[in-house]
Structure 1
Amino acid sequence: MSEPRKPAEEYVVIRHRPGYRIRRTAILLAFTVVSALTGYAAGLAQGGFRFSDVSASNEVLEEELDDLRSNYKEARQQLVNLERGKAIDAQALKQARTTIVELETRIASLKSDLTFYKNIMAPSETSKGLQVDSLTLAPDYQPGAWDFKLVLTQVGNNKNYISGVVAVNVIGMRDEEKEVIALRDLSQDIEDLGVKFRFRFFQNVEGTLALPDGFEPVEVQVVAQAEGRKSSQAERTFDWDDLTEN
């Protein structure tokens, strides 16, 4: 048997072109450079658009910030005005309350004066002639001292003057013993045991008294003695605690 036949060997012929590889490399390099430049230009264009958008947004924000600052300034001024108005209202209210208290005090004083004069001019049948109307005590700036005011009145017939003397004694305790001290011995404003008076409607006896150490006052006794044709006597005793409780 004969051996199989081997195919004949083939040969490929390649045309030799000098400089082809160099030209192909140069073309690829140029294409790469152009592509890179194109991408860079596009990036700059996009970046420019973004910068413009940011600038526009910044202007809007600045305008809003200016508006907020203006609104804040206006609101702050309104708050200051409200606080100032509140302070003025509070001061006006305080002043109004003070005025009301003063008016009420004045009205009470006028009512008291009116009652006082009514009692003098139109008394009852049982309260005519010389009267010990009232005695008041108020603390003095000196410790243990009191400002006093005694009011004597002539009730009823006031056409003529009434005259006489009034004696005031402070009754109290010292060293567990009862003691009676004349007003003359307690006050530098009183010189005599009996204070002289002469009036048609009323007369005030005023001054300052100072209590001695260790003396505890209990009551004040007032005795008024009228002289002449209208000779009469009026006596009244005041509790010390009642006089000084206010």
Structure 2
Amino acid sequence: MSSVKGSKQYSMKVVPSRPGRNVALVLLVLLLLVATAGGGYLYGYWMGLGGKSFALGESDQLSSQLQDSRLEAEQLRQQVANLTLSSEVDRQANDSVRNEVIDLREQIASLEADISFYRGLMAPGDEASGLKIGEVSLTARNEPRHFNYKFVVQQLATQHSVISGAIEITLVGRRAGESERLALYEVSDEVDDNDIKLRFKYFQNIEGDMMLPEGFEPEKIELVAQSTGKNAAEAKKSVSWRVRDL
């Protein structure tokens, strides 16, 4: 065969046709791709399980710490409650002891006053014989402007005998800026006369309750006792308005 001048000539090779080999190569490539993808998925899944396990472990640790903190907080709260209760018990105990001491002091003062009173009745000493106005006591009641009163008239003598007489008790104060005097019978239902009758051998108590009128502000109490008979005597006393609480 004649050749064309100037063109490159290639040698031809006859290759046998193998379609099965090509299919095998394609399948091998596909298997490699599937294996690679599966390996990546398994690796990612394994790493995910590892992270999840770590997260679960961290969560369990935090839950345990939270529980411990709650227990500690409850213990502290209980301690605070115990301290508060103990403090309140101590305060109440102190108040109770203080009140008992006050009551005992008042009882002692009352007993000493009674002893002095009865000693004066039995042995007046250098005091002149006759009448004496002793205790004057005013105690506030729960109702506003209501008061309990107690006045004592006694006989000074070495040889006591029954005496009679009367006593006038007057409240002196101010109302609307003006001086005012009120007899005891005007403010007390226990008394019905300006002259309160006296009859006793050793002493006589004049007791009851009074209610002051609105606007009247008491300042003092004036007492004048007068006995009758052969050895008539008079006793006077003026005391400031002093009220004790119940």
* Shared fold (TM-score, shorter chain, > 0.5): yes
CA distance in 2, matches of 1:168, 1:212: 20
CA shift digits 1:52-105 (9 cap, x unpaired): 333333333333333333333333333333333333333333333332332333
Pair 1:10–1:61, CA change in 2 (3 A): same
CA distance in 2, matches of 1:210, 1:35: 110
1:220 maps to 222
Q: Determine if contact 2:166/2:227 at 8 Å carries over to the other structure.
A: yes
Q: Once the 2 structures are TM-superposed, how far is the Cα of residue 131 of structure 1 from its aligned partner? A: 1.7
Pair 1:72–1:227, CA change in 2 (3 A): same
SS in 1 for 2:160: coil
Q: Determine if contact 2:151/2:207 at 8 Å carries over to the other structure.
A: yes
Q: Once the 2 structures are TM-superposed, how far is the Cα of residue 198 of structure 1 from its aligned partner? A: 1.9
Q: Would you say 1:65 and 2:66 are equivalent positions?
A: yes
Work out the number of aligned pairs and report it: 233
Q: Once the 2 structures are TM-superposed, how far is the Cα of residue 236 of structure 1 from its aligned partner? A: 0.3
Q: Determine if contact 2:138/2:243 at 8 Å carries over to the other structure.
A: no
Q: Determine if contact 2:130/2:233 at 8 Å carries over to the other structure.
A: no
Q: Determine if contact 1:130/1:226 at 8 Å carries over to the other structure.
A: no
Q: Once the 2 structures are TM-superposed, how far is the Cα of residue 197 of structure 1 from its aligned partner? A: 1.5
Pair 1:84–1:38, CA change in 2 (3 A): same
1:236 maps to 236
CA distance in 1, matches of 2:169, 2:36: 128
1:168 maps to 168
Q: Once the 2 structures are TM-superposed, how far is the Cα of residue 225 of structure 1 from its aligned partner? A: 1.3
1:3 maps to none
CA distance in 2, matches of 1:27, 1:179: 131
Q: Determine if contact 1:171/1:221 at 8 Å carries over to the other structure.
A: no
2:108 maps to 107
Question: Tell me, which stretches of 5 or more residues in structure 2 are unaligned?
Answer: none
SS in 1 for 2:224: strand
The alignment-based identity, stated in percent, is 25
1:198 maps to 200
Q: Determine if contact 2:139/2:243 at 8 Å carries over to the other structure.
A: no
What is the identity, as a one-letter code, of the residue corresponding to 1:234? E
What is the identity, as a one-letter code, of the residue corresponding to 2:80? L
Q: Determine if contact 1:171/1:219 at 8 Å carries over to the other structure.
A: yes
2:15 maps to 16
Q: Determine if contact 1:162/1:227 at 8 Å carries over to the other structure.
A: no
TM-score (norm 1): 0.68
Pair 1:140–1:161, CA change in 2 (3 A): farther
Q: Determine if contact 2:171/2:182 at 8 Å carries over to the other structure.
A: yes
What is the identity, as a one-letter code, of the residue corresponding to 1:102? D
CA distance in 2, matches of 1:22, 1:199: 148
TM-score (norm 2): 0.68
CA shift digits 1:98-142 (9 cap, x unpaired): 323323332332333333334444544244443222444556788
Q: Determine if contact 1:164/1:198 at 8 Å carries over to the other structure.
A: yes
Q: How does 1:1-246 map to 2 (within 5 A)?
A: 9-14=8-13, 16-18=15-17, 19=19, 21-137=22-138, 147-157=148-158, 159-168=159-168, 170=170, 189-190=190-191, 193=195, 195-200=197-202, 202-208=203-209, 220-225=222-227, 227-228=229-230, 231-238=231-238, 242-243=240-241
What is the identity, as a one-letter code, of the residue corresponding to 1:104? R
CA distance in 1, matches of 2:12, 2:117: 155
SS in 1 for 2:15: coil
User: Aligned-pair RMSD on alpha carbons?
Assistant: 4.3
Question: Tell me, which stretches of 5 or more residues in structure 1 are unaligned?
Answer: 1-5
Q: Once the 2 structures are TM-superposed, how far is the Cα of residue 145 of structure 1 from its aligned partner? A: 7.0
Q: Give the stretch that moved more between structures: 204-213 or 13-22.
A: 204-213
